Amino acid sequence: LKDEMANAIIFMKYSAYLRQAVFEQIQWAINELGLNEYFYSFVSPLKFVYAPTGQVILFRGLDDANRTKSIKIAKGYFKIVWFEELSEFDNWEEIRTTLNSVFRKSNEYMQPHFSVFLSYNPPRDPKNWVNIEARYNRPDRLINHSTYLDVPRTWLTDAFIQETEELKKIDERAYRHEYLGEVIGLDGLVYPMFDRTRHVGTLNENERVWSIILGLDEGSINDPTTCIALCVTTEGRIFIPLPFVYDPSIPGHMT
């Protein structure tokens, strides 16, 4: 409302979910702000139009990311871009391709300010592309992690609270993922939270090796007699030291 050239566009992975999800959410926000008389809503295609200036809020599914090339607006540029349920998208390349398409339509304006919102529940797998992307320390990025514990109690029903408490008692890991948004790892993995960035490298300044374990796997694909050395440190890390190779041509030699 403060920028007559600003428009907004909201993306979800699948078009079929737009109306029941983000479209209704924006309608709720307009109602809460007391702006109903200023916005017209349309369902084919989904959009809101700000009557005084013609600014728009558009909704698109990325079933085919190439469809973003056909987006046209009569006035201004897309100042606000929102990707809802980010974890449903294929990869960051899909997001970047879409953003580049949207931003190219704004190059006639001198250095416009953009706001890009990425909302999602963190996937369980630490190696999921969404969790990996969130770990990149970009100076232009703000990460906000919120749960049901951070909102006013009046927003929540007694039934909702009861369900959370029951799940916490019977399956704490599921509770931590579904209600606290923690990246808990996949089920069935021997070391579900193993992370190369945390476990592989050099010892910290005050860290010491607590135990050394040698493991022999005769079923290794690369070598029928593979021996692996692991160190458990005083900080509880599984530390993988530099590989060593026995050279039988040199008596007593091991590197």
> DSSP labels for 179-243?
TT------TT-SSTT--HHHHSS---TT--EEEEEEEEETT-SS-TTEEEEEEEETTS-EE----
Q: 47 with 56: CB under 8 angstroms?
A: yes
User: Exposed, middle or buried by CB within 10 Å (0-12, 13-18, 19+), for 83?
Assistant: buried
What's the rounded Cα separation, in Å, for the pair 78 and 103?
Answer: 7
What's the rounded Cα separation, in Å, for the pair 255 and 253?
Answer: 7
Out of 85, 88, 163, 178, the active site residue is: 85
Q: Is 24 a catalytic residue?
A: no
Strand-pairing partners, residue 60, are 11
Residue with tokens 């700000």: 50
Just list the catalytic residues: 85
